[in-house]
Structure 1
Amino acid sequence: MDIKQLLAGLNILLVDDEALGIDSVLTRVGARVVTCSSIEQAQMELGAHAFQVALIDQNLGMSRGIQLALWLYEHRPDVVRISLSGRNADDIRRTLPPDKPDLYAAYLVKSIGPLQIGREIARIMAERRAADASDSPA
């Protein structure tokens, strides 16, 4: 499957105070994207809409994206959480609580660009769908 087939109709919450064109690229390939610049705004959107993916920037002004990821882990475990940062994945992993190594499905660095971010989301969702299909009774 190509990126358009994998992302078509997917509801993505993009939480980033500097979206850098990510939302427009994801929308062009068929995803429905809601962009928020704060944790509070994201929680309001999560209460009002169903999302399959939350793409969370780790530096949201005075807040940290990990706060939202932890909230999602507890309140909306069905939402796939993806870390988005200017830092590398190892830096982010060091900030994780030891009992939640699976807090994020992936760690993406903003410098890879919007199209590659879309490809990574598509890859993650394809893996999830394949895992769900193998778990279903035949």
Structure 2
Amino acid sequence: MPQASLSLAAALRVAQLTVQNCAGRGYSVAATVVDRAGTILAVARAETAGPHTVDASFRKAYTSASARNLTSAMAQNLASTPTLADIPGFLILAGGVPVRVNNVVVGAVGVGGAPSGLTDERCAVDALTAVLGR
């Protein structure tokens, strides 16, 4: 049976819409979309987003895809599992959202640049809903 995946076209739309969603809230961000293995599919960055936002967005996406979980949920549980912060490449701050197709994680979106990781997360969730319909 073929494995579900995230297309490049969908990844590009999600990345761009995520940045637009945050811009509509007044924030300049970067958004990175990765596949299930944490490999970059698409990156979008607002012209005025800080230089740190691309790396932060990638690391949040990588973390979310690897753990198959919201990075905000991981951050809430960090006190009980502090060794998660020691995994190379992980960034356990809100703003990483897994992408699911038929309840299977096929990738993730990471966002960096808003003053709150929960705002980063909301921009990504709204983009995923618009592009993937869920």
State whether TM-score is above 0.5. no
Q: Which has the higher contact order (CA 8 A, sep 6+)?
A: 2
TM-score of the two chains, using structure 1 as the length reference? 0.31
TM-score of the two chains, using structure 2 as the length reference? 0.31
